[in-house]
A and B are shown apart, each in its own frame.
Chain A
């Protein structure tokens, strides 16, 4: 690393400070998840760290917590619908705007990306107001619509990025060889951008499953959503069952990210 350079004290101090801060920052990033994982195996009744002893009791408790199961099922169903809708609408829109340099394409791009920066809580309230104005009662349907608005940007962004990597000559060659646009799309474009679509769909799914601000306004009383259930449980009492549930969610996330890294090269996708 340092070949051809004099290792002066000054350079050394720089490298030392930067490396130390980086390692501290990485520890701060990873530590909370590890702490929760450890606490979830406590044998005690509190979230004391380190735990007085270890057991699986809270995972057994979680197995019987039907309220959490019900909420998890609802969150899963809404996330699947919102992701599906986001992929259909988002991929089509990405195809339209990715290679176009016109003003309208760029405006559409900004419009589709804006839910990422606007406060989701304000959007949730706005959507609730509109739905009540037109007489559409809150239901799983309004949840899916609201989630799709805040999740579709991830699909659009990742698909546009995948399309930008696509060699235009491939499409030209395919056309020259007599393939129709539809045939070229299914046989050339889709296979090449598929990892990008999957990565976008994955992030959309995770953000829908985790969404609180939109769900708070757009769910009906019968539709309990997992993150809201967890949030309300945490506001009331610090239940160790939530630690066990958090343990399950952390492990599931690590496993899904590992699979996605294999399938789509997720880490490269998010840094290029």
Chain B
């Protein structure tokens, strides 16, 4: 990158500066993924016989399909909970004083940076038989025997929603901040009520943020291995743990590779659907 000719644009740098990272990614990110794909296309562990056996096994096995289905469903449930809880936070953020805004951001940010194991552990304490919820309900006399909250779908969804909430809330705060506040007033002065204004003006205009938040939350929720396994326990199996069991405990690498590829494709499909929606919504928001 020696002395650049004077005629060159001084405000930009050559693409060559990206070469080290590009090479690093080629060697340690792209190559491993290609190797994963290669192995998944073999019927034996040694990788000698080509074939679609691993994929056929997965796609004809009701158990495997069930794991995939429950993982995708889990992501949808977590994303919905995050959206319903996260949107009011972003809304509140826009109408409080700057000092409170910083506090809200820091509250939202903290879980993002706190260790996932710690956050999940907290939910074990809250949802356990002697946990805070059961203790409160019992002392109020509402229930006699502790409710089973840990190791249930409800427990996994609520714990994952808390763990992933920042990923939903931060893009929403950004998106709501970009909406011209005059539009809100205009809608109200034209006679629309607050609810109507919210659903007809604010929500549609914030769609890019909603979609960005949903993409991040969904991708994070279905891959959140630690929270899924600790709060879900042994009875509930989702794709990441299924993959890990096949690879690590059973040493069935080709099948684990096929699970990985199917899982990767599922995540990519969801992300690209959201991205397409995002592109459409930007056109909508700008119109």
Contact = CB atoms under 8 A, between A and B. Distances in A.
Interface residues of A, number: 108
Given A25-B86, A119-B260, A119-B267, A246 B10 contact: no
A126 interface: yes
Contacts of B250: none
B190 interface: no
Interface residues of B, number: 103
B206 to A, nearest CB: 13
Interface in A165-186: 168, 171-172, 174-175, 180-181, 184
B4 interface: yes
Interface stretch (A53-61, A62-70, A142-150): A142-150
A31 B194 contact: no
Contacts of A80: none
A222 interface: no
Given A121-B240, A125-B256, A89 B24 contact: yes
B264 A118 contact: yes
Given A96-B14, A126-B35, A130-B32, A49 B165 contact: no
B222 to A, nearest CB: 8
A206 B117 CA distance: 13
A49 B117 contact: no
A89 B219 CA distance: 26
Interface in B1-41: 1, 3-4, 6, 10-18, 20-22, 24-25, 28-33, 35-36, 39
Contact of A32 (B4, B6, B123, B219): B123
Contacts of B13: 95-96, 99
B124 interface: yes
A221 interface: no
Contacts of B131: 47, 49
B107 interface: yes
B35 A267 contact: no
B10 A39 contact: no
A105 B21 CA distance: 13
B135 A48 contact: yes
Interface stretch (B51-59, B60-68, B88-96, B277-285): B88-96
A148 B86 CA distance: 31
A18 B195 CA distance: 10
B77 to A, nearest CB: 15
Contacts of A100: 12, 15
A125 B247 contact: yes
A10 B194 contact: yes
Interface in B150-191: 158, 161-162, 165-166, 170, 173-174, 177, 185, 188
Interface string A7-39: 010110111011101111110111111011001
Contacts of A21: 84-85, 88
Given A10-B193, A111-B22, A234-B117, A29 B244 contact: no
B20 A93 contact: yes
Contact of B105 (A35, A111, A238, A271): A271
Given A33-B110, A253-B110, A267-B105, 16 more contacts: A4-B185, A10-B194, A11-B188, A11-B193, A32-B126, A33-B119, A47-B128, A49-B130, A96-B14, A100-B12, A104-B15, A108-B22, A148-B24, A203-B113, A210-B116, A217-B248
13 contacts: A14-B195, A26-B108, A29-B108, A32-B162, A48-B135, A93-B18, A100-B12, A129-B39, A149-B28, A181-B1, A213-B223, A231-B226, A253-B110
Query: What are the 6 closest A-B residue pairs judged by CB atoms, nearest first?
Result: A32-B122, A14-B194, A126-B32, A96-B18, A22-B88, A122-B260
